[in-house]
Amino acid sequence: MRRLFVKMYGLVDCDNCFVSCERVFRPDLEGHPVVVLSNNDGCVISRSREAKDIGIRMGMPYYQMREHYRDKEVTAFSSNYELYGNMSNRIMNILREEAPIVMQYSIDEAFLDLNGMENINIKEWGENLSLKILKCVGMPVSIGIAKTKTLAKIASEFAKKYPGYNKCCYIDTDEKREKAIKVFPIDDVWGIGRKNSVKMEYFGIHTAYDFTLKSKSWVLKNFSITGVRTWFELKGYDCIPLDSLDSKRKSICTSRSFPNMIENFDDIRTHISNFAVRCAEKLRLQHSVAGLVTVFIDTNHLRYDLPQYGNGMSITLHTASNATQTIVKACFSILCDIYKEGYKYKRGGVIVTDICDECAVQTDFADYDADNHRKMHVLTSTIDNINRQNGKDMVVLGSQQYKGKSNDGKNLKFSNAVKRALKSPNYTEPYKFIVKSK
């Protein structure tokens, strides 16, 4: 009998990713409520099962959580992105060994295209994959496998929620699909956010199945083309191509809240300089250049008692670039235009857009100076190499230096410009030997 092959997608999702990363090196915290905080220890961005169970909400401000759960002994960590990035890379490497095509979707999720695996027992394969990741990296992952990415997402939620699935839920028949979407709340479906959930409620749609009962034209009218895509996917028709999730960034943004409010122009300039340097690095990493540079600054919108001001402006570069100096210079020029004295600034950022491949740069004849361009290229790649080999920020621009003092009177490095009071050690970093010459 000829078997009709149906393409399957897998979704591998780390369970409480950041908390699980921390617990790999702190097994004593297993079974206890643990949270990881955003930059500047602002709010909760990852929670262990136990933390969710006692009611700690995602995005809850840390100071409120501390106050509210004083008697619960919750362990909190500042975010340690070096550690999480490293753990994520290890997991992605295992996935690439095991699956034909891997598409990393975020730091803690990846889609797999399982084309060509139709002759093996997929459910068993998924269970073994989850076990391998747990054994090799220490990260618990839940795997969902189905005909579309939206259904694979739903399957992974089942794998996460019900131990009976043994960490892998496989929706391989239409009966299973229907059974799954009949109990799956519409607001938990990938692509249905808060606003659309309210609309769904209004229309009396409670489960993913309820939604699939509506007509295509009705969905188009009320939820636009993105709603129609989700509707198709829930019915089992694959319509979100995998490569649509894997392209070079079309915009790159580096922005932060400052640990304190800042009035001084020079201090803001230091932060903006650092953001600009990061943006240029991210551009070079994906071999792109940007044609448009935007800078924005804002006061603290939660401080109603203080005067508010926010502004952002853009500059088109004569020649699209990824050179640190070019982007920093453009940012300074914008900052001079948007900065106003007399306000306490809390947040700022740099965005680069109009991104294209670095080998396809459109040069502006009036401006283009080949020799200068070449020198700039040599300088930035030399700095990149030094920083890659000797550690991040080994060589920096003068304008990146944060001119502050720490409590013990030492000069602060600019990297201290984000508060991470509860950060764990960088466990996965190789130990550095420092050789001192006499």
Q: Which residues bind DNA (CB under 7 A)?
A: 38-40, 42-43, 45, 58-59, 61-63, 105-109, 153, 189-197, 224-226, 244, 247, 249-257, 261, 278, 282, 300, 302-303, 346-347, 349
Nearer to DNA, 41 or 127 (CB): 41
Query: Which SS3 state, helix, strand or coil, does residue 15 take?
Result: coil
Q: What is the DSSP string of 160-208?
A: HH-GGGTTEEE--SHHHHHHHHHHSBGGGSTT--HHHHHHHHHTT--BH
Token pair 């992952």 is found at 141
Nearer to DNA, 253 or 376 (CB): 253
Please state, in angstroms and as integers, the Cα–Cα distance from residue 281 to each residue in 294, 380, 381, following that order.
16, 9, 10
Please state, in angstroms and as integers, the Cα–Cα distance from residue 405 to each residue in 260, 402, 414, following that order.
14, 9, 11
CB of 277 to DNA, least distance (A): 12
Is the Cα torsion angle 137, 143, 148, 151 positive or negative in sign?
Answer: negative
Query: Structure tokens of 281?
Result: 């690095």
> Helix-strand-coil percent breakdown of the chain, rounded to 5?
45, 20, 35
Q: What is the DSSP string of 21-55?
A: HHHHS-GGGTTS-EEEE-GGG-BEEEE-HHHHHTT
Query: Structure tokens of 256?
Result: 């932060």
Sheet holding 141-146, edge to edge: 101-106, 109-113, 9-14, 141-146, 168-170
Contact 173, 263 (CB under 8 A): no
CB of 38 to DNA, least distance (A): 3
Distance between CA 213 and CA 190 in Å, rounded?
A: 18
CB of 55 to DNA, least distance (A): 17
CB of 124 to DNA, least distance (A): 26
Contacting residues for 354 by C-beta, under 8 A, at least 6 apart:
290, 291, 292, 316, 320
CB of 264 to DNA, least distance (A): 17
Distance between CA 271 and CA 32 in Å, rounded?
A: 37
Is the Cα torsion angle 361, 367, 368, 369 positive or negative in sign?
Answer: negative
Nearer to DNA, 128 or 314 (CB): 314
Nearer to DNA, 25 or 105 (CB): 105
Nearer to DNA, 396 or 417 (CB): 417
CB of 210 to DNA, least distance (A): 16
Query: Which SS3 state, helix, strand or coil, does residue 102 take?
Result: strand
CB of 123 to DNA, least distance (A): 23
CB of 234 to DNA, least distance (A): 13
Contact 296, 349 (CB under 8 A): yes
- Whole-angstrom Cα Rg for the chain: 25
CB of 8 to DNA, least distance (A): 19
Nearer to DNA, 125 or 283 (CB): 283
Nearer to DNA, 125 or 400 (CB): 400
Nearer to DNA, 125 or 350 (CB): 350
Nearer to DNA, 302 or 359 (CB): 302
CB of 432 to DNA, least distance (A): 26
CB of 121 to DNA, least distance (A): 27
Nearer to DNA, 45 or 117 (CB): 45
Nearer to DNA, 119 or 244 (CB): 244
CB of 107 to DNA, least distance (A): 7
Nearer to DNA, 254 or 399 (CB): 254
Q: Would you give the DSSP letter of residue 429?
A: S
Q: Would you give the DSSP letter of residue 243?
A: G
Distance between CA 8 and CA 116 in Å, rounded?
A: 10
**Region of residue 292 (left: phi > 0; alpha: psi -120 to 50; beta: else):** beta
